[in-house]
Amino acid sequence: MFIIIGLGNPGMKYAGTRHNIGFDIVDALAKKHNIKVKSLKHKTIMGKGSIYGHKVFLAKPFTYMNLSGEPVRRIIEYYHLDEKNELIVIADDISLPTGQIRMRKKGSDGGHNGLKSIINNFGHNEFIRMKIGVGDKKDGDLIGHVLGHFSGSDKKIMRECTKNAVAAIEAIIEDGLDKAMNVYNRKIDEIKDSQ
């Protein structure tokens, strides 16, 4: 079983922002695999279903980004899951070019408050994370950048990135993280060439 957590902030004010790409990818997974993400549990909106015969939970914490760790830990404990092998966290990353995917088995929070909260709640950094590049701030306004919306050209890139992220999660579930990383830990234009 896997639990796939998309990080973001609740409310229409934040919908479609760079910081909410985790929510958007969970929504895309839910739509593709007909999983209803509507149940309010453990301070998240959740849904249970299957991806290619594997049981999955999809979840979006509704505690705001900086407090994401508590609901993630509660879900893991409640369902007796192994966060080192059954948890996939999706988060935005300003240090990656727009649309680039980078998956890791463990690592630092990279300055991301949602990942920091999860690491603090578990007391370790060993869980699968998928970072989605949203580009670096151009004018020094970090908060404005991550809470801003993608520009016209970036919207097209992110539509392709979302498809790749869904395929990458499916690959993790079916073939394991190492194989998924070999295909999807590349620049967005290189992914098409390798598929």
Identify residue 102 by its one-letter amino acid code. R
Which one from 19, 42, 112, 145 is the annotated catalytic residue? 19
Measured between alpha carbons, how far is residue 23 from residues 13, 75, 105, 178, 192 in Å?
14, 17, 21, 24, 24
- State how far the Cα of 42 lies from the Cα of 65, in Å rounded to an integer: 15
Q: Which two tokens stand for residue 167?
A: 């395929």
Nearest to 117 by CA among 93, 98, 91: 91
Active-site residue flag, 124: no
Query: Could you give the CA distance from residue 61 to residue 58 in angstroms, rounded to a whole number?
Result: 10
* Positions marked catalytic: 19
